[in-house]
């Protein structure tokens, strides 16, 4: 059922897709999804974090180079610049910068893309911010293309090393931790948003 909902939503034209930062081990997942949406003319632009790159994320210039190599035209690749992204970049700060940027530009709908094991936290983080900052924004999931689940990779700012399938558990633990901290809204609010 979820796959059907996702596929129907991916057939909608939405002006922009934001690619959540990933380590180099996982970047092809979101880069290929962004390229696919652009090539199918489902988005006009691909938005990429242009902030700090200390923690495993290769950075805007590297990702732009990869997207150009994949056939995306230069003027379709946009930098997300925000003071929020200059220190301690993480999923929540990316979501906050994205929502505030969307509000400043008057965007009503956006796609977000993260690696499959990271998509849930990226979505919950984005919904948590938009409910507080820009409740009229509609966010849709464009899950990154799957990569081998049994492959050992780096994740979470390069600090976690393990198999992608094992990151499903750590992502759920992170969601719970950030919910308790107050960064993320309760699950009921996320479900109500849907």
Among 9-13, 96-100, 118-122, 179-183, where is mean pLDDT lowest? 9-13
pLDDT band at 10 (very low <50, low <70, confident <90, very high): low
pLDDT band at 121 (very low <50, low <70, confident <90, very high): very high
Among 21-25, 112-116, 129-133, where is mean pLDDT lowest? 21-25
The predicted pLDDT at position 85 comes to 81
Q: Which backbone phi and psi does 126 adopt, to 5 degrees? A: -65, -45
139 touches 127 (CB < 8 A): yes
Among 10-24, 28-42, 58-72, 86-100, where is mean pLDDT lowest? 10-24
pLDDT in tens, 29-50: 999 999 999 999 999 999 999 9
The predicted pLDDT at position 97 comes to 96
**Measured between alpha carbons, how far is 190 from 105 in angstroms, rounded to an integer?**
24
With a CB cutoff of 8 Å and minimum separation 6, the contacts of 16 are 43, 44, 45, 46, 47, 78, 107, 110, 111
The predicted pLDDT at position 164 comes to 92
If you classify domain 2-193 with CATH, what class do you get? alpha beta
Query: Could you state, in order of their start, the residue ranges of all structural domains in the chain?
Result: 2-193
Cα 108 from chain centre: 17
183 touches 129 (CB < 8 A): no
pLDDT in tens, 127-183: 999 999 999 999 999 999 999 999 989 776 657 788 999 999 999 999 999 999 999
What pTM was computed for the model? 0.91
**Measured between alpha carbons, how far is 57 from 103 in angstroms, rounded to an integer?**
25
CA proximity to 100, closest of 120, 130, 79: 130
DSSP class per residue in 91-122: HHHHHHHHHHHHHHHT--EEEEE--TTTHHHH
- Take residue 22 and report the two structure tokens written for it: 């990933």
Q: Has residue 7 got a pLDDT over 60? A: no
């Amino acid at each position: 059922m979820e796959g059907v909902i996702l596929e129907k939503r991916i057939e909608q034209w939405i002006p922009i897709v934001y690619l959540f930062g990933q380590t180099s081990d996982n970047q092809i997942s979101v880069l290929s999804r962004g390229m696919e949406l652009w090539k199918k003319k489902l988005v006009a632009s691909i938005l990429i974090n242009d902030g700090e790159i200390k923690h495993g994320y290769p950075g805007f210039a590297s990702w732009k180079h990869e997207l150009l190599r994949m056939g995306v035209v230069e003027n379709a690749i946009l930098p997300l610049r925000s003071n929020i992204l200059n220190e301690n970049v993480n999923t929540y700060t990316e979501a906050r910068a994205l929502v505030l940027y969307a509000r400043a530009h008057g965007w009503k709908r956006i796609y977000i893309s993260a690696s499959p094991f990271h998509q849930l936290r990226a979505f919950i983080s984005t919904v948590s911010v938009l409910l507080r900052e820009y409740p009229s924004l509609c966010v849709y999931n464009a899950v990154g293309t799957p990569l081998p689940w049994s492959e050992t990779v780096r994740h979470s700012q390069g600090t976690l090393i393990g198999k992608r399938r094992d990151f499903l558990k750590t992502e759920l633990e992170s969601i719970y931790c950030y919910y308790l901290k107050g960064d993320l809204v309760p699950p009921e609010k996320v479900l109500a948003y849907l």
